[in-house]
A and B are shown apart, each in its own frame.
Chain A
Amino acid sequence: MANTFYTAFLSEKYKLLRNREIFGVLIAPMLLIFAISAYIIYDIVNSGGASAIPNPWKVLLGRYVFQFFYLLYPILVALFVYACCDVEYKNNNYKILFTLPISKSNIFFSKVVFILLTLLFSILFAYAAFLISGYLLSLIYPVLGFQNYDYRQVIFYTFLKLFITLSAIAMIQLALSLLFRSFIYPIGVGMFMLVFSVLIAQKSFSDFIPYTGAYNAVMNIMSENDSFARLDYCNMLMVVLFMLISFYLFKRKGQL
């Protein structure tokens, strides 16, 4: 036995990988991209043939994918983060967790690293699926013109900024899930913030609301924006801030 971060991480990974919700957040975005690609093919077949489009990465694939993503991804993240906390709520399993010969800080940060790594892999899978879809479409329908545009930098930064946004959302949802035992509050607040962020997306203060980042991903891909802005720096700060708030709430959970 060793009271190490690595031991804590391995045990958390073993336990949390058995949650179905993890596959939702890992695979659903990737499957969605392939489903959209299949729809594009179906649409072309139905309309009688493909025609040239200016920058299909943005206008065709990017538009559809990110319109789904800004609504779907934060909800998947909220569900996944809640599931990571719910395993401890069931049967009051915090009693197991806090009587293990592992420090609370190691347990907490191993949970956080597991959540962030899962999000990273989810984004990487989605990023790969996006590039593969464009490449396949360029092979099947060269006339669409995917091969004529090198849009990799914008795609990379859009996904990177989306990862930062989702990390910030994950930490907020973690704090909410540690604060409220009931499913309703963290998911309800997440949904509300998502709708609210769309309504106030054009306001300057929206940069301080991480949920806006999901909506901004659509704007980024459409406006070919690959630079970091105030929202992205705020989101990085929010990751740290809400991680610390969550740590405080987690330590307090020890007092049953």
Chain B
Amino acid sequence: MESIRTKQLSFKIGTKTILDNISLQVPDKGIYGYLGRNGAGKSTTIKLLLGLLEDQTDAIFIQGNSLKTNRTHIYANVGNLIESPCYYTKLTVFENLKYLDIIHNKGNKRIDEVLEMVDLHREKKKKTSALSMGMKQRLGIAMSIFHDPQLLILDEPLNGLDPQGIVEMRKLFCHLNEQGKTIFLSSHILSELEKIATHIGIIEGGKMIFQGTKDELLGQVNREVFLRTSNPAATVSVLRKGGFSPVKIDGESVVVTIGDDRRFDFMIKSLVEQQIDIYGLESRSADLEQIFINLIARANG
């Protein structure tokens, strides 16, 4: 079962289409990275998923239930952090979580547990106005996971965190995922998403331009193979005859672009047949950032 499913979700403001037939499929117990440029429709999607914007078409299903008719039931099992962290400024860190505890009835032990998880236990008695930006972000995350939800919807959860904080949060998300939680998150830090996401969705101009597993996305693009051989000139000649293109010499290496694994196997066999010794081989895939830029460029013609 999918944790989040939208059936051709569209959203308009006046005559302007913000989202156009978005069919999200967020698998249960996965980490789904939702990518898009500023203004692509990410935050609108997230606000719709949380009921903060009205779903005009009854197209959103969370854990199998229609959001339109099961709002309060769904919220009991969903944690969220949207854009900037929300907390009550006149309450301390502890009191902010105590406020949620009155609703979710989890007990003071859970408050301490969550504060430990986000490394905010030392700031427990501090007023939120005295917290640094990164600490406020941690508090926002603590509030989103307090009631132990099965689904976390996080919009830019790494904003304002220092590098150490980013690593800690990455570990926390992975830990929560290992416990069986589904995480739907958007982030501008693509390298971080690449490290933790199992599935990726890319939105551009209100339309979904890619959705699938991370491997499917990474497999969509060619990779460059750097070869060090006994005879670079002969290597170039053999590879060109074999239909590889482009092939070029870069210093002591021959650089060849390969589409899939079968071509890779064919390349090795061709070189061995021609008795060219291979001294070194390095395969470099395009990273998520590069793929994202390429896909956006392709979508915009």
Contacts and interface: CB of A to CB of B under 8 A. Distances in A.
Nearest to B82: A95
Contacts of A1: 76, 103-105, 147
Interface string B76-88: 1010101011111
A93 B95 CA distance: 15
Interface string B153-196: 00000000000000000000000000000000000000000000
Interface stretch (A14-22, A182-190, A196-204, A208-216): A14-22
Contacts, number: 77
Counting chain A CB atoms within 10 Å of each CB, the highest count among B53, B86, B89, B147 belongs to B86
Contacts of B85: 91
A256 B78 contact: no
B20 to A, nearest CB: 20
Nearest to B80: A99
Interface residues of A, number: 25
A101 interface: yes
B91 interface: yes
Nearest to B106: A1
A99 B78 contact: yes
Interface in A199-256: 254-256
Interface stretch (B44-52, B210-218, B230-238): B44-52
A15 B104 CA distance: 15
B202 interface: no
Nearest to A92: B86
Interface string A79-105: 000000001001111011011111100
Contacts of A31: none
Given A96-B86, A256-B52, A3 B99 contact: no
A10 B75 CA distance: 19
Interface in B63-99: 71-76, 78, 80, 82, 84-91, 95, 98-99
Nearest to A90: B89
A93 B143 CA distance: 12
A11 interface: yes
Contacts of A55: none
B297 interface: no
Given A1-B104, A1-B147, A93-B88, A98 B51 contact: yes
Nearest to B78: A99
A131 B42 CA distance: 62
Contacts of B90: 18-19, 87
Contacts of B75: 99-101
A7 interface: yes
Contacts of B86: 91-93, 95-96
6 contacts: A10-B102, A14-B102, A18-B88, A95-B86, A99-B50, A256-B53
Interface of B: 47, 50-54, 71-76, 78, 80, 82, 84-91, 95, 98-99, 102-105, 143, 147
Given A87-B88, A101-B72, A255-B53, 8 more contacts: A7-B102, A11-B102, A15-B99, A18-B90, A90-B89, A93-B87, A101-B104, A103-B71
Interface of A: 1, 3, 7, 10-11, 14-15, 18-19, 87, 90-93, 95-96, 98-103, 254-256
Q: When A and B form their complex, which 7 residue pairs have the shortest distance between CB atoms, in order from nearest?
A: A101-B76, A101-B75, A11-B102, A96-B86, A256-B52, A101-B72, A18-B90
